[in-house]
Amino acid sequence: MSFLKQLLSPFVEFDEKKKDVAKSSQPPPPPTTLSKPSIPATDQQPHHPLIDDSNAAINTSQTPTYSPGGTLAGPLPEHEKYFERLIDEANAKNPFFQGNDFKEFVDSKLDIDDITDEALKYQTAFNIFKNSGLTKEKLLSTGREYLNIIGRDLNTFQGAHALQYKKDLGPNEMLIQKKAQELQALTQKANALKKEINKLTTDINLAKDKLDTVRNSFLLAGEKKQAEIQNELEKIKKYF
């Protein structure tokens, strides 16, 4: 039996009134929406350990899985572990989280998994920790601060990732753009040459037709005259 389970009996008191209070409690406000990552204009560029230390944003050690639609089915386990370590480090080193707080409260629910009613499980965990000074206000404030820590880390990662993207892919993207412009110019040149070729071909065909007409007419005229002369020769032979 866990330490928390041993402590349940002296501190847990539940009735329908307390359940109604728990159900009517308002959840904490959602975290602030992440701002669009941007690259600062100063020399103080964003840095993130996953990118600066091991370039893990690109070279992950695990294979991602994708849904039939082609989207990422879920986060990589190594990234999930990163945020677990981020919370653990903040809990251990940040004075704001001194003593029992949101993290200890959430972790404690794992020790009372035999309670299936969710409201009862939450109230049980809270009744255990409130004797050490944990209040609802501290639960909400520390929970929101954990959200802010993750949000700031996400924003830092996106800024560092944008820099890494620009560094690794920017030159090739610019080269592609240059090659595309060159291809467009060559295409335009090729189209212009095709028009010139078509015009020259038309002109040649017209000139050829004229030349062929002259030649054929000349040959016909010559052959006709030959025939006339031959006919006269035959008559001379006949009549003289």
**Helix or strand or coil: residue 66?**
strand
Q: CA-to-CA distance for 225 and 66, rounded, in angstroms? A: 89
Above pLDDT 90, what percent of the chain? 59
The burial of 102, by beta-carbon neighbours within 10 Å (0-12 exposed, 13-18 middle, 19 or more buried), is given as buried
pLDDT of residue 41: 44
Neighbours of 86 (CB within 10 A): 15
**pLDDT at residue 12 greater than cutoff 60:** no
Q: Residue-wise over 173-187: b if at least 16 C-beta within 10 A, else e?
A: eeeeeeeeeeeeeee
Q: What is the DSSP letter of 72?
A: B
How much is the average pLDDT of 19-47? 47
pLDDT tens track for 82-140: 999 999 999 999 999 999 999 999 998 888 888 889 999 999 989 989 988 899 999 99
Q: CA-to-CA distance for 240 and 235, rounded, in angstroms? A: 8
pTM: 0.58
pLDDT of residue 34: 44
pLDDT of residue 204: 97
Q: At what angle do helices 3-11 and 118-129 cross, to 10 degrees?
A: 90
pLDDT of residue 51: 86
**pLDDT at residue 15 greater than cutoff 50:** no
Q: At what angle do helices 136-239 and 77-93 cross, to 10 degrees?
A: 150
CA distances from 49 to 90, 156, 157 (A): 16, 10, 8
How much is the average pLDDT of 130-158? 94
pLDDT tens track for 192-216: 999 999 999 999 999 999 999 999 9
Neighbours of 201 (CB within 10 A): 10
Please give the mean pLDDT across all residues of the chain. Answer: 82
Smallest CA-to-CA distance from 82 within 144, 159, 150 is with 150
pLDDT of residue 212: 96
Among 24-33, 64-73, 221-230, top mean pLDDT goes to 221-230
Smallest CA-to-CA distance from 127 within 15, 1, 239 is with 15
Neighbours of 163 (CB within 10 A): 20
